[in-house]
Amino acid sequence: MPHRIIFSDIDGTLLDSERELSEFTISEIKRINATIPVVLISSRMPDAMYHLQKELDINDQPIICYNGGLILIDKKPVHSTFISPDIIEELTNFNKDQKFHISLYHNNDWFVPEMDFWAKREANNTKVKPVVKQTQHVIQEWKTCNKGAHKIMCMGEEPYIDQAYTFLLDNFKDALHIYRSKPTYIELAHKSISKLTAIEILLDSYFKIPISDAVAFGDNYNDIAMLQAVGTGVAVANAKPETLQVANVITLSGKENGVATYIQKNIL
């Protein structure tokens, strides 16, 4: 299959053991980016992706944030799908004893109820600092201006996240993607979106490239649909077993520069 465009997941796929871009990855993407668009696609917020774009010299390309909930071209939203504040309110009422942390994201806004262990860890990982604001205040503001959450992140000790996961499945499995990215993390997005839906929007309306000419890199459950749909789906070696199973190609692990190694060998 021809490789006319690249879509790459970030965490677990593109970054090294220090959660940074290696010099090898940077040099390989810079080598091809004048002729082949490279689009970052992640559950991250925009501000947690822009610095990576800059390092890779792909600032002129769109980005896909929040697993497809937000697509930006020239830092302007061209597609936005968010979770209703009513759902956030029900989740907050369930968590009235604050047994787990709830982060709320909309575009470049990230709100946390306090700078606890979970907020500090996520801020360190993504190089973005959240705004401390009580969840109920955020909900009321969003109701007033017709906004919602592009992503909700629930973080906490495993037993409390178990309870939250059960509550969410029992009440919102038809409205939300309920994705347990770690035993201590649940990521929530609107049910209608995915990395694949965002890829299809960009390919059809912006790049005018058939999906059969796209290559995508990923490692996790939320990458499965896009790896199955593109012309060449590449899983890094550290990917989940289910993700490895659907991939056309398996490259080295993310920490071993799997994306850059594939590009070096297959894109001249």
pLDDT of residue 146: 94
155 vs 161: CA distance, rounded Å: 7
First to last CA, the chain: 14
Q: If residue 91 lies in a helix (H) or strand (E), which one and from where to where?
A: helix 85-94
Q: Which domains does the chain carry?
A: 5-80+193-266 (3.40.50.1000), 85-190 (3.30.1240.10)
Check pLDDT > 80 for residue 1: no
Using alpha carbons only, how large is the chain's radius of gyration in Å?
A: 18
CA dihedral 51, 64, 237, 1 (to 10 degrees): -120
Residue-wise pLDDT for 147-184, tens only, equals: 999 999 999 999 999 999 999 999 999 999 998 888 99
SS3 197: helix
Nearest C-alpha neighbor of 153 from the set 185, 111, 108, 114: 185
pLDDT band at 268; cut points 50, 70, 90:
confident
Q: Which residue has the tokens 């940077």?
A: 26
Residue 127 pLDDT: 86
Question: Which residues neighbour 260 within 8 Å (Cβ) at sequence distance 6 or greater?
Answer: 22, 24, 25, 27, 28, 29
The span from the CA of 63 to the CA of 115, in Å, is 28
**Active-site residue, selected from the candidate residues 9, 11, 47, 116:** 9
Q: What share of the chain is helix, strand, coil (3-state, %, to 5)?
A: 40, 25, 35
Site of tokens 């390989």: 28
- Angstrom distance (rounded) from CA 229 to CA 88: 32
pLDDT at 194 over 80: yes
How confident is the model over 59-100, as pLDDT tens digits? 999 999 999 999 999 999 999 999 999 999 999 999 999 999
Count the neighbouring beta carbons within 10 Å of the beta carbon of residue 241: 7
H-only helix segments in 127-251: 135-144, 158-172, 195-202, 224-229, 241-246
What would the mean pLDDT of 9-25 be, rounded to a whole number?
95
| Mean pLDDT of the region 246-267 | 97
Q: Which has the closest alpha carbon to 68: 252, 216, 222, 207? A: 222
- What's the pLDDT score for residue 231? 97
Residue recorded with tokens 């920490």: 255
Query: Does the annotation mark 9 as catalytic?
Result: yes
Report if pTM > 0.85.
Answer: yes
